[in-house]
């Protein structure tokens, strides 16, 4: 874990001030849910890719149509912004190189450079579980382990993480990368057909909480966190998000899903450490 984050001496901003937050990709599933549930907490500027998305988010903040490929326009969009939540990108895990190049590679570069040039304090980068999905399923991946993409989409997310670390360590823009799992509603987690992704689930409210924790943090220069819920089994380790920004996920897909809930995994699985004094190996000397 020690290699996956860097502490900041000071980011120079009081939390008493209502932060101005830019959300790119605000018309998407994650961006729009975050905006709807954060509009009272932050002053939001919402970037959408075209006019058809304005109606969906116009009641949540200031809406601006902007082209991610236009670096000068992105710089103007970032003016006066404290934190950029960069959600824009091609979300297709099966995509080939050309569709990914502009949005996920050049787009990530433009977003980070624009944030730096405009004096933003922090950028939160929407990475993905696909940056490490090449690991075998029996491995619970920690943020300190090397990237291991399972597809070209994951490669572009690994690029964004590397660019984010460069921007934080060498250019002074604080960056937190979130490897987001299967982003779904609680209602979707309760469907039987969702059992197969229970170890990678993150509910809408849990991911929104994590993003908010990352916006409000003043202690980190750079970090990678895993964005999963409080599932009985997790494909990715979320302990550093708990420890460093106080992430407290509420949902467990194993408890919500009708195929898995009867097993009561959270309470019936044996622990490898025994907490009760009467069962402790030290019980004779305690």
3-state secondary structure the chain: CCCCEEECCCCCCCCCCCCEEEEECCCCHHHHHHHHCCCCCCEEEEEECCHHHHHHHCCCCEEEECCCCCHHHHHHHHCCCCEEEECCCCCCCCCCHHHHHHHHHHHHHHHHHHHHHCCCCEEEEEEEHHHCCCCCCCCCECCCCCCCCCCHHHHHHHHHHHHHHHHHHHHCCEEEEEEECEEECHHHHCCHHHHHHHHHEEEHHHHHHHHHHHHHCCCEEEEEEEECCCCCCCCECCHHHHHHHCCCCCCCHHHHCCCCHHHCHHHHCCCCCCCCHHHCCCCCCC
- Mean pLDDT for the chain? 90
- Say if residue 86's pLDDT is above 60: yes
CATH number at residue 171: 3.40.50.720
Give the residue, 279 or 229, on which the prediction is more confident.
229
* Helix 204-216 vs helix 29-36: crossing angle, to nearest 10: 70
In a domain, 145, yes or no: yes
pLDDT digits (tens, 9 = 90+) for 146-205: 999 999 999 999 999 999 999 999 999 999 999 999 998 778 777 777 677 888 999 999
Instruction: For residue 92, name the pLDDT band (cuts at 50, 70, 90).
Output: very high
Reported as a pLDDT band with limits 50, 70 and 90, residue 17 is confident
Residue 258 has pLDDT above 50, yes or no: yes
> Tokens in use for 78?
């970032």
The confidence score (pLDDT) of residue 260 equals 76
Q: Are 47 and 86 in contact (CB under 8 A)?
A: no
Q: Which of 98, 90, 97 is nearest to 128 (CA)?
A: 90
What's residue 12's pLDDT? 57
The answer to the question of residue 279 being in a domain is no
98 is a domain residue? yes
Q: Is residue 284 part of a domain?
A: no
User: d(Cα 262, Cα 258) in Å, to the nearest integer?
Assistant: 7
In the predicted model, is pLDDT for residue 141 greater than 50? yes
Output the six-digit token pair for 271: 């622990």
Q: State mean pLDDT over 111-138.
A: 97
Across the range 61-84, mean pLDDT stands at 97
Exposed, middle or buried, 142 (CB in 10 Å: 0-12/13-18/19+)?
Answer: middle
Please identify which residue in the block is written with the tokens 């970032």.
Answer: 78
CA nearest 90: which of 132, 130, 39? 130
Q: Domain residues for 40?
A: 5-271
Q: Is the pLDDT of residue 13 over 60?
A: no
Query: CA 72 to CA 75: how far, in whole Å?
Result: 5
**Is the pTM for the entire model greater than 0.85?**
yes
State what percent of residues in the chain have pLDDT above 90: 74
Alpha carbons 223 and 116: distance in angstroms, whole number: 17
Total domains in the chain come to 1
- CA pair distance 40, 200, nearest whole angstrom: 29
Nearest to 85 by CA among 132, 119, 121, 49: 121
Is 180 inside a domain boundary? yes
Dist. CA 15–CA 35, nearest whole Å: 19
283 within a domain of the structure (yes/no): no
Residue 111 pLDDT level (bands cut at 50, 70, 90): very high
pLDDT tier, 1 (very low <50, low <70, confident <90, very high otherwise): very low
In this structure, is residue 217 part of a structural domain?
yes
Looking at per-residue confidence, does 259 or 40 come out higher?
A: 40
Q: Would you say 280 and 274 are in contact if contact means Cβ atoms under 8 Å apart?
A: yes
Contact 99, 122 (CB under 8 A): no
- Does residue 277 lie within any of the structural domains? no
Q: How confident is the model at residue 103 (pLDDT cuts 50, 70, 90)?
A: very high
């Amino acid at each position: 874990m020690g290699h996956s984050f860097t502490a900041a001496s000071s980011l120079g901003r009081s939390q008493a001030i209502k932060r101005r937050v830019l959300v790119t990709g605000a018309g998407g599933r994650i961006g729009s849910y975050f905006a709807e549930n954060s509009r009272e907490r932050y002053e939001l500027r919402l970037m959408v890719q075209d006019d058809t998305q304005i109606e969906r988010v116009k009641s949540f903040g200031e809406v601006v149509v902007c082209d991610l490929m236009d670096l000068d326009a992105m710089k103007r969009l970032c003016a006066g912004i404290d934190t950029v939540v960069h959600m824009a990108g091609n979300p297709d895990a099966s995509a080939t190189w050309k569709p990914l190049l502009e949005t996920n590679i050049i787009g990530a570069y433009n977003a980070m450079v624009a944030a730096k040039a405009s004096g933003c304090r922090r950028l939160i980068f929407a990475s993905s579980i696909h940056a490490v999905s090449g690991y075998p399923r029996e491995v619970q991946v920690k943020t300190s382990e090397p990237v291991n993409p399972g597809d070209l989409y994951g490669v572009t997310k690994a690029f964004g993480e590397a660019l984010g670390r460069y921007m934080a360590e060498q250019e002074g823009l604080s960056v937190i990368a979130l490897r987001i799992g299967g982003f779904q509603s609680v209602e979707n987690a309760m469907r039987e057909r969702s059992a197969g992704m229970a170890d990678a689930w993150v509910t809408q409210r849990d991911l929104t909480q994590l993003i908010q924790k990352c916006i409000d943090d003043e202690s980190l220069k750079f970090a990678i966190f895993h964005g999963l819920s409080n599932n009985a089994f997790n494909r990715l380790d979320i302990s550093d998000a708990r420890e460093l920004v106080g992430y407290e996920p509420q949902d467990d897909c194993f408890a919500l899903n009708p195929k898995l809930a009867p097993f009561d995994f959270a309470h019936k699985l044996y622990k490898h450490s025994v907490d009760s004094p009467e069962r402790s190996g030290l019980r004779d000397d305690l």
